[in-house]
Amino acid sequence: MNVNTLKYYFRESTRSVLRNSWLSVASVGTIIISLLILGSSLLLVLNVRHIVSTVESSLEITVFLEDGLDEEALKRMEEEIKFVPGVARVEFVTKEQALEDLKESFGDKADILSGLEKDNPLPNSFRIKTSEAEMVPRAARQLEKLEGVEQVRYGQGVVEKLLSLTHWVRIWGSLTLVVLGAAAVFLIATTIRMSVFARRREIGIMKMLGATNFFVRMPFMLEGMMLGLAGGLVAALIIYFGYLSLLNKVAVTLPFIQLVNDPQTLYRVLGGLLGLGFGIGAVGSAISLHRFLRV
């Protein structure tokens, strides 16, 4: 393949894009919207996971114990807890220690708690660290079943809420993505079909002049790929700059929240969007050429 042929492919495909300008805009628009949805739900899921794993307390479970357990029972429990899946570390906290911690958290208003030492209402407890945030709810349920456990507390439901949010985002995100992705493929296919139709006479002449199928198809294939790539590029840029400004805003107003901001993850997301846009374009035109250009 020489330079002239490549020039021909690009010239013809650009011409087609311009000729079908409205359809081209519509298909690029659909690609942009579906990729925006994909990109933002992906970032949301990534961030929730990131936050959940960085917020220290989200990994913690507190197991409150019944009163009057002897040394031996406590030892046995600690062993049993270590065997619960997901448990990484176990620490025993006496009721005295718990009261101290509570006082500390009250700071200068700790006086309210004075007098409690005599008849300490706080129970003994185990403080448990899990290896992953996702493990917390299941581990907690298992811990509840142990003998001598009074109550199990963790993350005040925040972990579960965040995780169920990502769960729904995943489901709805993929659902809309599939629907919109299909629409995008369909629109690309229609655009290419119109291009083929507009040039059917020319295609016939090309065939008679000895053009190969590859040569005939390439400009149309390229047209779809260009539309897809354009959609991917616009979506990636919007996501990129949108996310940057979000990072800035969060850093100012909610400085304690750590969002995903390592460049490698971001570039991987953006590259994925670009690649997917390209893929949608290629698949759309391939479908169309397969159906309407049996040369």
Partner 1 sequence: MIQLYNVSKIYPNGVKALNDVTLHIKKGEFVFLVGPSGAGKSTLTKLICREELPSRGQVLVNGRNVARMKNRDVPHLRRKIGMVFQDFRLIPNKTVYENVAFALEVTGASSKEIKKVVPTVLRMVGLEKKAGMLPAHLSGGEQQRTSVARAIVNNPVLLLADEPTGNLDPETSWELMKLFLDINRRGTTIVMATHAWDIVDSMKKRVVALSNGCIIRDEEGGVYGYEC
Residue ranges in contact with partner 1 by CB under 8 A: 1-5, 7-8, 201-202, 204-213, 215
Radius of gyration, CA atoms only, the chain: 30
* Shortest distance, position 214 Cβ to partner 1, whole Å: 9
Contact between residue 85 and residue 138 where contact means Cβ atoms under 8 Å apart: yes
Q: Are 193 and 292 in contact (CB under 8 A)?
A: yes
Q: Which is nearer to partner 1, 2 or 253 (CB)?
A: 2
Residue closer to partner 1, measured from CB, 8 or 64: 8
Write down the least CB distance from residue 200 to partner 1, Å.
12
CA 292 to each of CA 87, 273, 287, 295: distance values in angstroms, whole numbers, following the listed order: 59, 28, 9, 9
Residue among 109 and 201 whose Cβ is closer to partner 1: 201
Is residue 49 a contact partner of residue 43, using CB atoms and an 8 Å limit? Answer: no
Q: In angstroms, rounded to a whole number, what is the distance separating the alpha carbons of residues 127 and 97?
A: 12
Distance in Å, CB of 290 to partner 1, minimum: 14
Instruction: Report the candidate in 295, 237, 291 with the shortest Cα–Cα distance to residue 269.
Output: 237
> For residues 165 and 205, which CB has a smaller minimum distance to partner 1 in the complex?
205
Q: Please give the order of strands across the beta sheet that includes 125-130.
A: 87-93, 125-130, 60-65, 149-154
CB 165 to partner 1: min, Å: 54
Angstrom distance (rounded) from CA 250 to CA 229: 31
State in angstroms the smallest separation of the CB of 19 from partner 1. Answer: 10
- What is the residue type of 176? T
Q: Looking at beta carbons only, is 186 or 215 nearer to partner 1?
A: 215
Select 118 or 294, whichever has its Cβ closest to partner 1: 294
Distance between CA 192 and CA 23 in Å, rounded? 9
Give min distance, CB of 217 to partner 1, in A: 13
Smallest separation (angstroms) from partner 1 to the CB of 208: 6
Nearer to partner 1, 3 or 112 (CB): 3
DSSP letter at 146 equals S
